[in-house]
């Protein structure tokens, strides 16, 4: 099947995936952030399915199944247990205000599109728009990690970065080998498990999920 017939759907899904990053930046409630992470995973799985259907690349379906199982299932379950376990429902403050966060995120998107435009040309990879969107997601995920204080929010930023990498893999290659996909998802799962345990330990030690309290551990 010709991918050109599905470019409208593909680009729409990429836009929605990018939009969930802005929604995460605008949210303070941890449960809402987790739901947005699930929504982004579902959109990413949908994109992978559409690309698999349009190109006939079987690895795309496997990537979609792994995304549903790990990013829309296991990881949100772990994060939800962390939020319930520590009894924290929302982030009170951050290093950067919501208004400034949106402005910086918009600037990151513009920079991403301008920068990647110098790297790839039309017709590069399966979907030309995937690379600039993925770079923007990686930068916004890093921005979340740097500017949000709660451990759960920083884990979400890590997921945004990984989803950006996944988007780049889907849109700029002809299918990621299964061994590589399994390795990536296993690394993500282990990383989130470790960060979840650390979040519990931070809350038990400081009665808060604010990672800024870790400064008190310095000698």
Q: Are 139 and 108 in contact (CB under 8 A)?
A: yes
In a domain, 197, yes or no: yes
pLDDT at position 213? 53
Q: Within a domain: residue 39?
A: yes
Cα–Cα distance, 91 to 78 (Å, whole number): 18
Least confident piece of the model among 35-49, 56-70, 136-150, 179-193: 179-193
Nearest to 170 by CA among 184, 188, 156, 186: 184
Whether residue 216 lies inside any domain: the answer is: no
**Where in the sequence is the domain holding 169, given as residue range(s)?**
2-211
Given a cut of 60, whether residue 78 has pLDDT beyond it is yes
Domain assignment of residue 217, yes or no? no
| pLDDT beyond 80 at 91 | no
On whether residue 82 sits in a domain, the answer given is yes
Q: Which of 55-69, 100-114, 167-181, 197-211 has the highest mean pLDDT?
A: 100-114
pLDDT at 47: 92
pTM as predicted: 0.82
Q: Has residue 174 got a pLDDT over 70?
A: no
Q: Is residue 154 part of a domain?
A: yes
Specify if 219 maps to a domain.
no
Distance CA 126, CA 175 (A): 10
The band of 5, judged by pLDDT with boundaries at 50, 70 and 90, is confident
Give how many domains the chain has, as a whole number: 1
Instruction: Report yes or no on 86 lying in a domain.
Output: yes
For residue range 115-162, list pLDDT tens digits in order: 886 665 555 556 778 889 999 999 999 999 888 878 788 888 888 988
- Dump pLDDT digits (tens) for 31-53: 999 999 999 999 999 998 998 88
Nearest C-alpha neighbor of 166 from the set 178, 154, 184, 179: 184
pLDDT score recorded for residue 198:
63
Those residues whose C-beta lies under 8 Å from the C-beta of residue 36, and which sit 6 or more positions away, are 20, 23, 24, 27
pLDDT score for 151:
76
Q: What pLDDT is stored for residue 219 in this prediction?
A: 46
């Amino acid at each position: 099947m010709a991918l050109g017939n599905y470019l409208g759907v593909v680009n729409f899904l990429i836009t929605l995936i990018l939009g969930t990053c802005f929604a995460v930046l605008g949210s303070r409630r941890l449960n809402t952030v987790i739901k947005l992470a699930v929504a982004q995973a579902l959109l990413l799985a949908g994109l992978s399915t559409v690309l698999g259907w349009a190109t006939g690349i079987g690895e795309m379906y496997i990537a979609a199944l792994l995304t549903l199982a790990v990013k829309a299932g296991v990881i949100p379950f772990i994060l939800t247990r962390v939020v319930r376990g520590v009894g924290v429902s929302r982030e009170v403050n951050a290093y950067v205000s919501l208004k400034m966060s949106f402005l910086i995120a918009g600037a990151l998107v513009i920079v991403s599109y301008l920068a990647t435009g110098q790297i790839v040309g039309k017709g590069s990879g399966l979907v030309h728009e995937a690379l600039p969107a993925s770079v923007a997601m990686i930068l916004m995920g890093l921005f979340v990690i740097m500017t949000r204080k709660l451990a759960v929010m920083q884990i979400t930023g890590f997921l945004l970065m990984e989803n950006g990498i996944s988007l780049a893999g889907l849109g700029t290659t002809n299918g990621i080998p299964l061994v590589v996909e399994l390795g990536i998802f296993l690394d993500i799962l282990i990383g989130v498990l470790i960060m979840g345990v650390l979040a519990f330990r931070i809350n038990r030690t400081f009665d808060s999920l604010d990672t800024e309290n870790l400064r008190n551990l310095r000698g």
